[in-house]
């Protein structure tokens, strides 16, 4: 049975974790299907934006599947972490912009998937937490690495050590959620944001994403040096000429993506 749905709406791909009875808990099959969909989207030049969400009204994903994990050994646990990291790596590094539409609980591995997305939009009922140390494990799908980069190390340590759940407004205050919207408007809000991003020069958007990501991993002079080279590269593209000519001619640009 398919546990993750893929829907393509012109330049926007919607990936929906669909295991409502288990609060969209993430077992190996769910992770494998997310990875397969993201790999297919990555190879699809027509798609500019990916929205990742959960089916139903209660959960984005309530974490890795505890029913599966309870009987697993160390190598199986290692493989589960690999699956989560592979999905996160794709969300973070793929050319397309990734938006998490957080429609309820985003706990454990579910929260970690949102952390790998470029942008998080929370429904008013969204709740975020990393409850792993309460289960005798750690947020091993990137949670100990990415949360502190988004909200700062002190707040990240507190959330991970206490397992506290935070609501959408608190996530917004911390900079974890970019926006908070009524649940009924969540998908349309994300679609509108996706359409706005897709209307820009998409190669430039993907280069901006790569340059921002690079800034997290290198010192400032190295990041700035790379940024200068990337800007130079963009001067060789059709879309740079078109974008600037369109501005000067007071018309809408017609981008070709290169
Ligand atoms: C398996 C889960 C689940 C999970 C919920 N369910 N979360 N099954 N794994 N992570 C199941 C419940 O067992 C139950 O199944 C059904 O979903 C509904 O859940 P309830 O608990 O009855 O609902 P509610 O009282 O509303 O509470 C919702 C909840 C709670 C707050 C989300 O279910 C919860 O705390 N879940 C666990 C969250 C968690 O600890 N996640 C982190 C996992 S560790 P039945 O069959 O009884 O109806 C992790 C590690 C990742 O994510 C690291 C590397 C990959």
CA of 105 relative to ligand 1 center, distance in Å: 9
- For residue 240, the model assigns a pLDDT of 98
**Mean local confidence (pLDDT), 71-80:** 98
Residues 6+ apart with CB under 8 A from 142: 84, 85, 88, 112, 115, 116
* Residue range 208-218: mean pLDDT, rounded: 97
% of the chain beyond a pLDDT of 90: 99
Nearest CA to ligand 1 atom 45: 22
| pLDDT in the model for residue 258 | 83
Active-site choice (92, 112, 249, 254): 112
Instruction: Pull the structure tokens for residue 205.
Output: 């958007």
Ligand 1 center from residue 229 Cα (angstroms): 47
CA 33/CA 205 separation, integer angstroms: 26
pLDDT at 171 over 90: yes
- Residue 18: predicted pLDDT: 98
Strand partners, 100: 52, 120
Q: What is the DSSP letter of 134?
A: G
Q: Which atom of ligand 1 is nearest to the CA of 110?
A: 52
Task: Look at ligand 1, atom 25, and give the residue with the nearest C-alpha.
Answer: 23
**Confidence bin at 70 (pLDDT 50/70/90):** very high
Distances (CA, A) of 180 to 58, 120, 221: 16, 9, 35
Residues 214-249 pLDDT 10s: 999 999 999 999 999 999 999 999 999 999 999 999
Residue 132 has pLDDT above 90, yes or no: yes
What's the pLDDT at 94?
Answer: 98
What's the 36 CA to ligand 1 centre distance in angstroms?
24
Ligand 1 pocket member 115 (CB < 6 A): no
Q: How confident is the model at residue 257 (pLDDT cuts 50, 70, 90)?
A: confident
Q: Where do we find the tokens 């990337």?
A: 230
Q: Indicate which residue's Cα is closest to atom 34 of ligand 1.
A: 62
pLDDT given for residue 1 in this prediction: 76
Length reported for the chain: 258
Q: What would the pLDDT profile of 44-54 be if each residue is shown by its tens digit? A: 999 999 999 99
Chain mean pLDDT for the chain: 98
Question: Which pLDDT does position 14 carry in this prediction?
Answer: 98
CB-CB contact of 118 with 93 (8 Å): no
Label residue 21 by pLDDT band (50, 70, 90). very high
**Residue 112 designated active-site:** yes
- 11, 89, 132, 185: the catalytic one is 132
Establish whether 39 is a catalytic residue. no
64 Cβ below 6 A of ligand 1: yes
Q: Of 13, 18, 1, 16, give the one whose Cα is nearest residue 43.
A: 13
Nearest-CA residue for ligand 1 atom 35 is: 62
Condensed to tens digits (0 to 9), the pLDDT of residues 107-120 reads 999 999 999 999 99
DSSP string, 201-258: -HHHHHHHHHHHHHHTTS-HHHHHHHHHHHHHHHTTSHHHHHHHHHHHTTS-------
């Amino acid at each position: 049975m398919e546990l993750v749905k893929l829907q393509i709406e012109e330049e926007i791909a919607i990936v929906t974790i669909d295991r409502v009875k288990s609060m969209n808990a993430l077992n190996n099959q769910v992770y494998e299907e997310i990875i397969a969909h993201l790999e297919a989207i990555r190879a699809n030049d027509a798609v500019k934006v990916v929205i990742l969400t959960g089916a139903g009204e209660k959960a984005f994903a309530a974490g890795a599947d505890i029913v599966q994990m309870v009987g697993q050994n160390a190598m199986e646990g290692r493989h589960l972490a690999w699956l989560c990291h592979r999905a996160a790596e794709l969300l973070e590094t793929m050319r397309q912009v990734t938006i998490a539409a957080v429609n309820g609980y985003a706990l454990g591995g579910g929260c970690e998937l949102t952390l790998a997305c470029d942008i998080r939009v929370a429904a008013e009922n969204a709740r975020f937490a990393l409850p792993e140390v309460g289960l005798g494990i750690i947020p091993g799908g990137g949670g100990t690495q990415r949360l502190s980069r988004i909200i700062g190390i002190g707040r990240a340590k507190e959330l991970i050590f206490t397992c506290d759940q935070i609501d959408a407004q608190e996530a917004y205050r911390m900079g974890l959620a970019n926006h908070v919207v009524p649940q009924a408007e969540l998908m349309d809000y994300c679609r509108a944001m996706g359409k706005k991003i897709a209307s820009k020069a998409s190669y430039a958007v993907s280069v901006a994403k790569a340059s921002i990501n690079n800034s997290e991993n290198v010192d400032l002079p190295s990041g700035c040096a790379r940024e200068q080279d990337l800007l130079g590269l963009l001067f060789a593209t059709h879309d740079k000429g078109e974008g600037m000519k369109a501005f000067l001619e007071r018309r809408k640009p017609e981008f070709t993506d290169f």
